[in-house]
Amino acid sequence: MADLMKSVLTALGEKNCHLVGHSMGTLICQLISVRFPSMVKSLTLFGPMLEPPIEQDQP
C-alpha cells in the first residue's frame, strides 16, 4: 500500500507532503516515511497500531 500511495502522490505532482494516518493508516504512513523520506514533510499518527498485523495459522 505504501508503494500505491507513492504512485498516487507522484501522479498528483506532489514532491513532499504532510501525512496523517489513523489505525492501520499509521502503518502505511510509517512505511512511506521510511521508504521515501524525501516525500514526507511531517507525520501525524492517530491511534497507531502497536504491532503490525500477524497472519495466524488456520486449523
pLDDT tens for the chain, residues 1 to 59: 888 989 999 999 989 999 999 988 999 999 999 999 999 999 999 988 766 666 666 55
Query: Please, which residues have CB within 8 angstroms of residue 52's CB and are 6 or more apart in sequence?
Result: 27
Q: Name residue 47's amino acid.
A: G
The pLDDT value given to residue 59: 56
DSSP per residue over 17-56, as a string?
EEEEEETHHHHHHHHHHHH-GGGEEEEEEES--SS-----
The pLDDT value given to residue 52: 60
pTM of the model: 0.72
Residue ranges of the domains in the chain? 2-46
